[in-house]
Structure formats: C-alpha cells, structure tokens
Structure 1
Amino acid sequence: TWVDFVEEFNYKFFPQEARDRLRVRFMGLTQGERSVREYDAEFCRLVVHTRSELVGERELMSRFLQGLRRSIRTQCRGGMYHSRVELVELAASIEEDLREPASTAVVPAAVVPATQPRGQQRQQQRGGYSSGFSRGGRPAQGQKRRA
C-alpha cells in the first residue's frame, strides 16, 4: 500500500533524527516577523512530518492559530472559519487591515467662542477694542480728539 511505501521510503532515505528535528521545529513554529502567507507556507512544509500527531483539521487550525501573532490571533478567535484555508484567509485579511495606516482625520481650525456678539468677536480678533485713539495718542483716522 501507499502508507507502507512511504514508511519504507522514509526509513531508508529520511532518518528518524531528521524527522524528529522537523517535528520539533513545527511544534515551536510561530509567525514571528513573517507575513501570514509566509507563516502558512512554512506551516504546510513542516506539517507533513507531524501528520500522525495532528490528525484532524481542527487540530491543524488550533496549531496554526496558536502560532499567529497575538494582534492577529485575538481577532481571528471571534471570526467564522471552518477550515485552515479559511483561517489563513481571515488572518491575512486582518494582517492587511493592521498594516494600513490610520486615516488622518482633518482637525478643524480653532473656533472663536460664541459668547459675544459677532462684531465684538471680529474686533477682538483684529487687535482688541478701539478707544478712538491710534498708537501714539493721536485720534484714529476720521475721528475727532476727545476733550
């Protein structure tokens, strides 16, 4: 059978120590600085050597989820997925969202408080109230000197 062939092939050409090293590497695999897609590629490459331990799709999803970065893993836990492929797509989508810079909101200009009538607000913005005199003690243009 095919299973017998694979076992015999691995026994002759793929030493047990090498398989054990790959299994340990797989069990400790985390996303780290990799993208979700890069993590998935390494996951798929190494999972072949641990198939006997992780039998079902649920175990594979759990192991994949466990290795994701916390910021992605936390959001995936509330998501809907029924296969590891769907989990990978969800995680990649979340990763993309996290990479996008936050949109910069337009900050409105300072607003003059509306506690005074508009005319008085404008005068204050231009330099205060006029006493009828310009700088230097002379009457402003078009005004008479007070007695």
Structure 2
Amino acid sequence: MFDFLKKKKKEELELPPLPELPDLPEELPSLRAVEKKEVHHEPEDLPPSPPPSLETPIKIPSFQRQEERLPQRPPLQEKPVAMVVKPSHKGVFIKAESIKSLLSDLNHIRTDLKNYQKDMGEYEETSKDEEKLFDKWQKSVQDVQKKLITVDKQLFGKGWENE
C-alpha cells in the first residue's frame, strides 16, 4: 500500500574497466608546505552524532501590545460672541467716475437686451413663416399624390394604395 515510502533496491550494474594509469615517478616532490600545516581529520570510526531533537518546544516571547494614549484635552467651548451693530451716521461716498462707468455699462447691457429681444422676435416670425411654407408644400405634395392615384386607378385599375 505504501510502496512509495519503502527504500528502493538499487540494481547493481556492471562497471566498465578502469583505464590504465601512468607510472608514477620514483621520487615524489617534497611536501614541505603540507608538513607545516596541521590537518585535523575526524576519525572515521566514530559514528555521526545524531541531530539535536526538535521535541523541545521553541519558546516564542510574548509581547503585550501597548495602546497609544494621547493626553486628553478639555472640550472646547465656544463663547458666545455678542454682535454689536453700531448705526452709521456717516454717509457712503462713491466716486463719480465709478458711478459714470456703472451707468454706461448698464446702458450697454440694456441696448444688448433690446437687440436680443428684437432678434428673437424676428427668429420666431421666420420660423412661423417657414412652418407655414412647409405645411403649404406638404399639402401640395399630398394633392399631387392623390391626383396621381386617381389617374393611376383610371388608367390601370390598380392604385398604389395596396402596396
């Protein structure tokens, strides 16, 4: 059932023969540099040490969240402001130049409005005239159509009405 958990047997394959090595020279170079360094090797006879067990729970330090507290301010209270209106006994003075420019601007606006009203009246009259002309043309086209239908009936016996 759990074949994937079992160790798989390794098949032993035949290895090809090793190539021939060249002959070693009788004298080897000196190893003075190697002799000076001390090489530390672990003895091969000792079994490897087991990894430290993970059964001991890891302690996670607990921190308490501190709330930020702002200093409390007393609520603001609006003080009622007494508005005192003092009657003005002095007159208001406006420059004569500003009054003249104001009056000229008002006259200019008045003339523009009169021109606008005049143009609107002319537009309405022309639009009414165009509507009357359009109605007149429409009636004449209908009259021509009726006359064509009567001529068609008299000549061919059928009219355009059935189509």
Q: TM-score range by the shorter chain?
A: under 0.3
Higher Cα Rg, which structure: 2
* TM-score, reference length from structure 2: 0.24
* TM-score, reference length from structure 1: 0.26
- Name the structure, 1 or 2, with higher relative contact order (CA <8 Å, separation 6+): 1
Of Structure 1 and Structure 2, the greater helix share is in 1
